[in-house]
Amino acid sequence: MLGELVPALLGALVILFAGYLLARVLGRGLERLLRKLRFDDVLRRGGVTRAVEHAGYSVKPSRVFGNLVFWAVMFAVLMVAATAAGLQSLTDVFSELVSYIPSVIAAVVIVIVGTVLGGFVEGLILASAGALTGGPTLARVGHVGVIVLAIFMALQELGVATDIVTTAFAILFGAVALALALAFGLGNRDLAGEVTRAWYLRYQAEKAAIEREAAEEEAEIEAELAADDAAVAAKLRAGDAPVAAD
Protein backbone atom coordinates (compact mmCIF):
# COMPACT_ATOMS: atom_id res chain seq x y z
CA MET A 1 0.00 0.00 0.00
CA LEU A 2 2.72 2.42 1.01
CA GLY A 3 4.79 1.32 -1.96
CA GLU A 4 2.00 2.43 -4.30
CA LEU A 5 1.22 5.65 -2.44
CA VAL A 6 4.74 7.09 -2.39
CA PRO A 7 5.31 7.00 -6.18
CA ALA A 8 1.85 8.48 -6.72
CA LEU A 9 2.59 11.34 -4.32
CA LEU A 10 5.99 11.92 -5.93
CA GLY A 11 4.36 12.03 -9.36
CA ALA A 12 1.73 14.47 -8.07
CA LEU A 13 4.47 16.71 -6.63
CA VAL A 14 6.34 16.68 -9.95
CA ILE A 15 3.13 17.59 -11.77
CA LEU A 16 2.46 20.40 -9.29
CA PHE A 17 5.96 21.83 -9.68
CA ALA A 18 5.93 21.67 -13.48
CA GLY A 19 2.39 23.04 -13.60
CA TYR A 20 3.30 25.88 -11.28
CA LEU A 21 6.18 26.89 -13.57
CA LEU A 22 3.90 26.67 -16.61
CA ALA A 23 1.19 28.76 -14.91
CA ARG A 24 3.75 31.40 -13.92
CA VAL A 25 5.12 31.59 -17.44
CA LEU A 26 1.67 31.87 -19.02
CA GLY A 27 0.44 34.43 -16.48
CA ARG A 28 3.51 36.63 -16.78
CA GLY A 29 3.49 36.26 -20.57
CA LEU A 30 -0.12 37.41 -20.85
CA GLU A 31 0.52 40.30 -18.48
CA ARG A 32 3.51 41.50 -20.53
CA LEU A 33 1.56 41.10 -23.77
CA LEU A 34 -1.32 43.20 -22.44
CA ARG A 35 1.12 45.86 -21.26
CA LYS A 36 2.69 46.02 -24.70
CA LEU A 37 -0.78 46.37 -26.21
CA ARG A 38 -1.45 49.20 -23.69
CA PHE A 39 -4.50 47.36 -22.36
CA ASP A 40 -4.32 49.28 -19.07
CA ASP A 41 -4.42 52.62 -20.90
CA VAL A 42 -7.42 51.51 -22.95
CA LEU A 43 -9.40 50.59 -19.83
CA ARG A 44 -8.27 53.79 -18.10
CA ARG A 45 -9.58 55.88 -20.99
CA GLY A 46 -12.81 53.84 -20.95
CA GLY A 47 -13.34 54.67 -17.28
CA VAL A 48 -12.97 51.13 -15.90
CA THR A 49 -9.84 51.83 -13.86
CA ARG A 50 -11.32 55.07 -12.55
CA ALA A 51 -14.49 53.32 -11.43
CA VAL A 52 -12.47 50.68 -9.57
CA GLU A 53 -10.32 53.36 -7.94
CA HIS A 54 -13.46 55.18 -6.78
CA ALA A 55 -14.46 51.96 -5.04
CA GLY A 56 -11.24 52.13 -3.02
CA TYR A 57 -9.12 49.64 -4.98
CA SER A 58 -5.99 50.18 -7.04
CA VAL A 59 -5.44 47.40 -9.57
CA LYS A 60 -3.80 46.92 -12.94
CA PRO A 61 -6.12 45.16 -15.40
CA SER A 62 -3.22 43.43 -17.14
CA ARG A 63 -2.09 41.91 -13.84
CA VAL A 64 -5.66 40.86 -13.02
CA PHE A 65 -5.97 38.92 -16.29
CA GLY A 66 -2.51 37.47 -15.78
CA ASN A 67 -3.53 36.20 -12.36
CA LEU A 68 -6.75 34.76 -13.80
CA VAL A 69 -4.76 32.76 -16.35
CA PHE A 70 -2.32 31.66 -13.64
CA TRP A 71 -5.05 30.31 -11.37
CA ALA A 72 -6.94 28.73 -14.26
CA VAL A 73 -3.83 26.75 -15.18
CA MET A 74 -3.15 25.96 -11.52
CA PHE A 75 -6.64 24.56 -11.03
CA ALA A 76 -6.14 22.31 -14.05
CA VAL A 77 -2.74 21.24 -12.71
CA LEU A 78 -4.21 20.50 -9.27
CA MET A 79 -6.89 18.39 -10.89
CA VAL A 80 -4.29 16.39 -12.83
CA ALA A 81 -2.12 16.03 -9.71
CA ALA A 82 -5.08 14.85 -7.64
CA THR A 83 -5.90 12.27 -10.32
CA ALA A 84 -2.29 11.08 -10.32
CA ALA A 85 -2.36 10.77 -6.52
CA GLY A 86 -5.58 8.77 -6.66
CA LEU A 87 -7.66 11.37 -4.80
CA GLN A 88 -10.89 11.03 -6.75
CA SER A 89 -13.01 13.20 -4.43
CA LEU A 90 -10.50 16.04 -4.68
CA THR A 91 -10.44 15.58 -8.45
CA ASP A 92 -14.22 16.03 -8.59
CA VAL A 93 -13.99 19.24 -6.54
CA PHE A 94 -11.31 20.70 -8.80
CA SER A 95 -13.29 19.64 -11.89
CA GLU A 96 -16.27 21.65 -10.69
CA LEU A 97 -14.04 24.64 -9.94
CA VAL A 98 -12.39 24.49 -13.36
CA SER A 99 -15.79 24.25 -15.09
CA TYR A 100 -16.84 27.37 -13.17
CA ILE A 101 -13.87 29.46 -14.35
CA PRO A 102 -15.38 30.39 -17.79
CA SER A 103 -18.42 31.81 -16.02
CA VAL A 104 -16.17 33.87 -13.76
CA ILE A 105 -14.22 35.22 -16.75
CA ALA A 106 -17.47 36.00 -18.59
CA ALA A 107 -18.81 37.82 -15.50
CA VAL A 108 -15.62 39.91 -15.26
CA VAL A 109 -15.85 40.79 -18.95
CA ILE A 110 -19.53 41.76 -18.54
CA VAL A 111 -18.71 44.09 -15.65
CA ILE A 112 -15.82 45.67 -17.59
CA VAL A 113 -17.92 46.19 -20.71
CA GLY A 114 -20.77 47.56 -18.58
CA THR A 115 -18.43 50.05 -16.93
CA VAL A 116 -17.13 51.20 -20.31
CA LEU A 117 -20.66 51.51 -21.70
CA GLY A 118 -21.71 53.39 -18.56
CA GLY A 119 -18.99 55.97 -19.16
CA PHE A 120 -20.05 56.23 -22.80
CA VAL A 121 -23.70 56.75 -21.82
CA GLU A 122 -22.68 59.39 -19.29
CA GLY A 123 -20.65 61.27 -21.90
CA LEU A 124 -23.46 60.98 -24.43
CA ILE A 125 -26.03 62.41 -22.01
CA LEU A 126 -23.67 65.21 -20.99
CA ALA A 127 -23.05 66.07 -24.64
CA SER A 128 -26.76 66.17 -25.47
CA ALA A 129 -28.31 67.50 -22.24
CA GLY A 130 -25.39 68.69 -20.13
CA ALA A 131 -26.42 72.33 -20.39
CA LEU A 132 -29.93 71.64 -19.13
CA THR A 133 -30.94 71.74 -15.49
CA GLY A 134 -30.34 68.31 -13.98
CA GLY A 135 -28.36 67.14 -17.00
CA PRO A 136 -25.23 66.11 -15.04
CA THR A 137 -27.39 64.29 -12.50
CA LEU A 138 -29.20 62.46 -15.27
CA ALA A 139 -25.83 61.53 -16.80
CA ARG A 140 -24.61 60.07 -13.51
CA VAL A 141 -27.88 58.16 -13.09
CA GLY A 142 -27.44 56.70 -16.56
CA HIS A 143 -23.85 55.74 -15.80
CA VAL A 144 -24.75 54.03 -12.54
CA GLY A 145 -27.79 52.37 -14.11
CA VAL A 146 -25.71 50.71 -16.83
CA ILE A 147 -23.16 49.49 -14.28
CA VAL A 148 -25.90 48.08 -12.02
CA LEU A 149 -27.42 46.31 -15.02
CA ALA A 150 -24.00 44.83 -15.86
CA ILE A 151 -23.56 43.64 -12.26
CA PHE A 152 -26.94 41.89 -12.31
CA MET A 153 -26.05 40.29 -15.65
CA ALA A 154 -22.73 39.11 -14.17
CA LEU A 155 -24.53 37.58 -11.20
CA GLN A 156 -26.89 35.82 -13.60
CA GLU A 157 -23.87 34.46 -15.48
CA LEU A 158 -22.35 33.19 -12.24
CA GLY A 159 -25.64 31.55 -11.31
CA VAL A 160 -25.72 33.24 -7.91
CA ALA A 161 -29.31 32.89 -6.65
CA THR A 162 -30.77 33.47 -10.09
CA ASP A 163 -34.38 33.87 -8.93
CA ILE A 164 -33.41 36.26 -6.15
CA VAL A 165 -31.20 38.33 -8.46
CA THR A 166 -33.94 38.57 -11.10
CA THR A 167 -36.53 39.58 -8.51
CA ALA A 168 -34.19 42.12 -6.91
CA PHE A 169 -33.42 43.67 -10.30
CA ALA A 170 -37.10 43.90 -11.17
CA ILE A 171 -37.86 45.54 -7.81
CA LEU A 172 -34.94 47.94 -8.14
CA PHE A 173 -35.84 48.87 -11.71
CA GLY A 174 -39.49 49.40 -10.78
CA ALA A 175 -38.54 51.51 -7.75
CA VAL A 176 -36.25 53.71 -9.84
CA ALA A 177 -38.87 54.13 -12.56
CA LEU A 178 -41.53 54.99 -9.98
CA ALA A 179 -39.22 57.45 -8.22
CA LEU A 180 -38.38 59.19 -11.50
CA ALA A 181 -42.06 59.31 -12.48
CA LEU A 182 -43.05 60.80 -9.12
CA ALA A 183 -40.17 63.26 -9.15
CA PHE A 184 -41.06 64.42 -12.64
CA GLY A 185 -44.81 64.42 -12.11
CA LEU A 186 -44.98 66.00 -8.65
CA GLY A 187 -41.87 68.13 -8.57
CA ASN A 188 -42.15 69.37 -12.15
CA ARG A 189 -45.86 69.56 -12.81
CA ASP A 190 -45.55 72.85 -14.68
CA LEU A 191 -42.67 71.50 -16.75
CA ALA A 192 -44.59 68.29 -17.44
CA GLY A 193 -47.59 70.36 -18.54
CA GLU A 194 -45.44 72.48 -20.84
CA VAL A 195 -43.79 69.41 -22.35
CA THR A 196 -47.14 67.69 -22.87
CA ARG A 197 -48.62 70.87 -24.33
CA ALA A 198 -45.67 71.26 -26.67
CA TRP A 199 -46.07 67.65 -27.84
CA TYR A 200 -49.80 68.18 -28.40
CA LEU A 201 -49.28 71.41 -30.33
CA ARG A 202 -46.59 69.78 -32.44
CA TYR A 203 -48.95 66.90 -33.15
CA GLN A 204 -51.75 69.26 -34.14
CA ALA A 205 -49.42 71.27 -36.37
CA GLU A 206 -48.13 68.15 -38.11
CA LYS A 207 -51.67 66.84 -38.53
CA ALA A 208 -52.83 70.18 -40.02
CA ALA A 209 -49.83 70.24 -42.35
CA ILE A 210 -50.56 66.71 -43.56
CA GLU A 211 -54.23 67.52 -44.13
CA ARG A 212 -53.29 70.73 -45.96
CA GLU A 213 -50.86 68.88 -48.21
CA ALA A 214 -53.50 66.23 -48.94
CA ALA A 215 -56.08 68.90 -49.79
CA GLU A 216 -53.61 70.68 -52.08
CA GLU A 217 -52.74 67.42 -53.84
CA GLU A 218 -56.46 66.63 -54.27
CA ALA A 219 -57.09 70.12 -55.65
CA GLU A 220 -54.21 69.74 -58.10
CA ILE A 221 -55.55 66.37 -59.24
CA GLU A 222 -59.05 67.83 -59.75
CA ALA A 223 -57.57 70.77 -61.65
CA GLU A 224 -55.61 68.43 -63.90
CA LEU A 225 -58.72 66.33 -64.52
CA ALA A 226 -60.78 69.45 -65.33
CA ALA A 227 -58.05 70.64 -67.71
CA ASP A 228 -58.02 67.25 -69.42
CA ASP A 229 -61.81 67.30 -69.76
CA ALA A 230 -61.71 70.80 -71.21
CA ALA A 231 -59.00 69.76 -73.70
CA VAL A 232 -61.03 66.74 -74.79
CA ALA A 233 -64.18 68.84 -75.17
CA ALA A 234 -62.28 71.42 -77.24
CA LYS A 235 -60.96 68.70 -79.55
CA LEU A 236 -64.46 67.31 -79.99
CA ARG A 237 -65.85 70.76 -80.90
CA ALA A 238 -63.00 71.32 -83.32
CA GLY A 239 -63.73 67.97 -84.98
CA ASP A 240 -67.50 68.64 -85.26
CA ALA A 241 -67.15 72.14 -86.78
CA PRO A 242 -66.43 71.13 -90.47
CA VAL A 243 -69.23 68.61 -90.38
CA ALA A 244 -71.71 71.29 -89.32
CA ALA A 245 -70.51 73.62 -92.10
CA ASP A 246 -71.23 71.02 -94.82
Beta-carbon neighbour count of residue 238 at 10 Å? 9
Pairwise CA distance, residues 90 & 78, whole Å: 9
* Percentage of the chain lying above the pLDDT 90 cut: 0
pLDDT tens profile 121-174: 777 777 766 566 666 777 787 778 788 888 888 887 777 766 666 776 677 667
Instruction: Tell me the pTM.
Output: 0.48
Give the angle 143-144-145 at the CA atoms, nearest 5°.
90
108 contacts: CB under 8 Å, gap ≥ 6: 64, 68, 154
CB 66 within 8 A of CB 30: yes
Q: What is the pLDDT of residue 208?
A: 86
pLDDT tens profile 117-133: 777 777 777 776 656 66
Distances (CA, A) of 245 to 232, 236, 238: 21, 15, 12
Q: Return the higher-pLDDT residue of 52 and 232.
A: 232
Q: Return the higher-pLDDT residue of 176 and 120.
A: 120
CB 37 within 8 A of CB 43: no
Q: What is the pLDDT of residue 100?
A: 75
pLDDT above 50 (res 2): yes
pLDDT tens profile 6-43: 777 787 788 888 888 988 898 889 888 888 888 777 77
Which residue ranges make up each domain of the chain? 2-188, 189-246
Distances (CA, A) of 45 to 58, 118, 140: 15, 13, 17
Is the CA virtual torsion 194, 200, 201, 203 positive or negative?
Answer: positive
